[in-house]
């Protein structure tokens, strides 16, 4: 009789506790703005490769800047963020070291006032650039890039306010990612344009960072990402989102200024930029590690 009692016991446990495959994986984050949209698509793709349902939530009470949001991830109040890597972030959270934008976010074009478009389009070297003042988010992880390269900047904690400061002549240009700048310019198309002939680049890998209280979630996301890379769906998503703007950027016609990035960990692996950066610039990048 004992084997039957044991079987009955475990049957009752299974009835009381649904199978893990049927449980819904809940992920909470704070990044609601349009500029974070691709990271959310990658997260959705990665989770879709797993064998159980999931739900990605942005709590309605969240309307915070990056500093506050990051604190909530570190404290475990939220589950993850996708941001540029730094030594501190890799220490305080669990990094998933797959560069979501393939380095694309490190390519910067210059948003400028229309009446100064011709003037700033003549920039060719870093010394030329140092004659002007840029705008930057005060809590953005890549701020030390501009300090290290002796590029003067004006900072503000509010992302939207930076565009108004540029329009108000508080600084001369606002460097924006190739994936960000077109929509931003359209929002202020009466007053702002994109400088011709010039682009900046610095190593700027963006990772998913998961709160340390959910190590299993980090493993699940990494597993899904690797599946998406292997089956080609990640590359397809990347080109669907950025193929048009890569062409629109006319990168072949621009001068490239390479900046040093002191905030990324020294053991950060080089990443493949061949999906989007013209071949003629590859040597320049290798000569400016």
Is residue 110 located within the same domain as residue 154? yes
Residue 289: inside a domain: no
Residue 15: inside a domain: no
Band the pLDDT of 184: cuts 50, 70, 90: very high
Give residue-wise pLDDT tens across range 144-161: 999 999 999 999 999 999
Give residue-wise pLDDT tens across range 200-247: 999 889 999 999 999 999 999 999 999 999 999 999 999 999 999 999
Is residue 47 located within the same domain as residue 168? no
Give me the helix-helix angle, 37-48 and 233-248, nearest 10°: 160
Q: Does the structure show a pLDDT above 90 at 4?
A: no
Is residue 123 located within the same domain as residue 162? yes
Residues 169-184 have a mean pLDDT of: 93
Is residue 167 located within the same domain as residue 144? yes
Model's pTM, two decimal places? 0.77
Q: What is the DSSP letter of 253?
A: G
The rounded percent of the chain whose pLDDT value lies above 70 is 90
Residue 209: inside a domain: yes
Q: Of 201, 228, 260, which residue is a domain's last?
A: 201
Is residue 131 located within the same domain as residue 83? no
Q: Does the structure show a pLDDT above 60 at 12?
A: no
Q: Does the structure show a pLDDT above 70 at 27?
A: yes
Residues 16-26 have a mean pLDDT of: 62
| Whether 220 contacts 50, CB under 8 Å | yes
Is residue 137 located within the same domain as residue 187? yes
Q: What is the DSSP letter of 194?
A: E
Residues 97-118 have a mean pLDDT of: 94
What pLDDT is recorded for position 283?
Answer: 74
Residue 272: inside a domain: no
| Residue count of the chain | 289
Distances in Å between the Cα of 238 and the Cα atoms of 137, 158, 202, 277 are 26, 28, 20, 14
Is residue 80 located within the same domain as residue 139? no
Is residue 91 located within the same domain as residue 217? yes
Residues 267-284 have a mean pLDDT of: 85
Is residue 169 located within the same domain as residue 42? no
Residue 8: inside a domain: no
**21/23: higher pLDDT:** 23
In 3-state terms, what secondary structure has residue 91? helix
Give residue-wise pLDDT tens across range 119-144: 999 999 999 999 999 999 998 878 99
Is residue 181 located within the same domain as residue 116? yes
Residues 95-112 have a mean pLDDT of: 94
**Number of domains, the chain:** 2
Domain span at residue 28? 21-102+205-247
What pLDDT is recorded for position 269?
Answer: 84
Residue 175: inside a domain: yes
Is residue 98 located within the same domain as residue 210? yes
Q: Does the structure show a pLDDT above 80 at 7?
A: no
Residue 4: inside a domain: no
Q: What is the DSSP letter of 235?
A: H
What pLDDT is recorded for position 223?
Answer: 97
What pLDDT is recorded for position 1?
Answer: 45
> Which has the closest alpha carbon to 39: 216, 205, 266, 157?
205
Q: Does the structure show a pLDDT above 70 at 9?
A: no
What pLDDT is recorded for position 18?
Answer: 42
What is the DSSP code string of 47-96?
HHTSSS-EEEE--TT----HHHHHHHHHTTSS-EEEEE--HHHHHHSEEE
Residue 33: inside a domain: yes
What pLDDT is recorded for position 51?
Answer: 86
Is residue 94 located within the same domain as residue 217? yes
Q: Report the CATH number that the domain containing residue 30 is assigned in CATH.
A: 3.40.190.10
Neighbours of 87 (CB within 10 A): 13
Instruction: Name the strand (E) or helix (H) holding 1.
Output: none
| Whether 95 contacts 219, CB under 8 Å | no
């Amino acid at each position: 009789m004992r084997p039957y009692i044991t079987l009955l016991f475990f049957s009752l446990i299974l009835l009381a506790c649904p199978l893990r495959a049927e449980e819904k994986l809940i992920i909470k984050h704070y990044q609601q703005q349009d500029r974070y949209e691709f990271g959310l698509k990658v997260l959705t793709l990665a989770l879709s490769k797993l064998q159980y349902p999931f739900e990605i939530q942005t709590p309605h009470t969240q309307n915070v800047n990056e500093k506050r949001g990051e604190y909530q991830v570190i404290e475990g109040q939220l589950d993850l963020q996708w941001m540029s890597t730094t030594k501190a972030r890799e220490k305080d959270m669990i990094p998933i070291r797959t560069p979501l934008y393939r380095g694309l976010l490190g390519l910067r074009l210059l948003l400028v006032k229309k009446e100064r478009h011709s003037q700033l389009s003549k920039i060719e070297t870093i010394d030329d650039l140092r004659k002007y003042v840029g705008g930057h988010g005060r809590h953005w992880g890549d701020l030390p890039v501009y300090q290290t390269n002796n590029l003067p900047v004006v900072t503000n904690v509010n992302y939207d306010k930076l565009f108004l400061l540029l329009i108000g002549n508080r600084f001369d240009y606002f460097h924006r990612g190739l994936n960000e700048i077109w929509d931003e310019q359209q929002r202020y198309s009466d007053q702002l344009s994109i400088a011709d002939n010039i682009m900046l680049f610095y190593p700027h890998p963006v990772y998913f960072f998961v709160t340390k209280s959910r190590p299993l979630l980090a493993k699940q996301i990494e597993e899904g990402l690797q599946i998406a890379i292997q089956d080609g769906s990640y590359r397809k998503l990347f080109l669907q989102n950025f193929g048009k703007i890569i062409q629109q950027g006319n990168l072949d016609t621009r001068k490239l200024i390479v900046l040093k990035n002191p905030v990324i960990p020294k053991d950060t692996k080089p990443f493949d930029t061949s999906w989007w950066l013209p071949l003629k610039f590859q040597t320049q990048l290798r000569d400016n590690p």
